[in-house]
Amino acid sequence: MPADALIIGGGPAGLKAAWDLGRGHHRTILFSASSAPADKCDEQLNLSPRPGSKFFLEGPFGNSSFLDLAQEEIQQQASHVCIERRRIIRVKRLADGIFQAEDPDGNSWRGRLLILAHGSVEVFPGIAGYGNCWRQQRIQTIPPTQQLPGHVSARGVAILAVGELAELTTALRTIWRIRQYNSQVHVYTNGDHELAQALQTRKPPDTGITIEGKGILRLEPDISTSLGVVIYLLDGTATTEAFLYHCPTPQLCGPFARQLDLELAESGAIHVSARAPYMTSMDGVYAAGDCTSLDRRTLFNALSMGEGVAASVAARLEQEQWPDLESKID
């Protein structure tokens, strides 16, 4: 007998959806992608992991200890949820309308409805040393929330204006946001001279903001500090920065949207309908979390979407189970 719902993704959105569906006595199978490396999607396997020691409320959430504890809680309190610590590589809709998920070993599971909550990954720019600095948490993805210490402020901070930050409006907003917390801001466009010129012409004088349009040779950790980064340029010069701010480009994780031929938003995220909450372009397939909101990835958003998709799926399951109840209420 197929499960009521298959959930792919053991992050905050998937866990919250599984918890709510399980507490509602809906038979749910959750495929976790947050524990063993073998469970991760191809994109995650090819990227250098960033230590999850901090409880980030913004950006991709990767606190594995928290996720493991949440899974244990679900197993103890929601008996209708089965957690499979497996890596799903293929999903499809069968002729009878049932959805099937398959792992690399040929095992398969079936469900009446499918929830995609498999998240996103960061795509690094092609700059030597970026991955090493990322692993050491020297590349900051969230601007500081308070004034930086004097010894940091004196050295200046850097903004890497590549990828999404290479868009002029985004770059300008980022520069002024970082400038709020530090008196010296250095912007590197990595050889994008057109962007460098556009920023230079829009920068008021005497603001402590400098624009560098030369290409970057490599990044190296500043071994004398815990956050510093040394930026080597193609002309042979090098500058030590207190820290480097940059947001890697988010990308949809996994092959499932392609396998199901789902409609995507302009950002590359899975498009969900406003008419049928959290429903994708395929009937019976729902999505929640980072895979639907690449431009707004926060813990609170993921938890909220997990709760919302669970309510939408539960309503459909109950309506199909008790088709006469709604007509009697009307």
- Percentage of residues in the chain with pLDDT exceeding 70? 80
In the three-class reduction of DSSP (H, G, I as helix; E, B as strand; rest coil), residue 37 is classed as helix
pTM: 0.80
Q: Report which of residues 104 and 37 the model is more confident about.
A: 104
DSSP 136: T
Q: Which helix (H) or strand (E) holds 238?
A: strand 238-241
φ, ψ for residue 212 (rounded to 5)?
A: -120, 115
User: What's the pLDDT at 309?
Assistant: 97
Q: Write out the two tokens for 167.
A: 């868009």
Question: What's the rounded Cα separation, in Å, for the pair 134 and 129?
Answer: 9
**pLDDT (tens digit per residue) in 169-197:** 999 999 999 998 888 899 999 999 999 99
Per-residue pLDDT band at 37 (split at 50, 70, 90): very low
**pLDDT (tens digit per residue) in 224-254:** 988 899 999 999 999 999 889 998 888 898 9
Q: Locate all alpha helices (DSSP H) within 239-290, ordered by sequence.
A: 256-259
In the three-class reduction of DSSP (H, G, I as helix; E, B as strand; rest coil), residue 19 is classed as helix
Chain Cα centroid distance, residue 15: 15
Q: Write out the two tokens for 11.
A: 């992050």
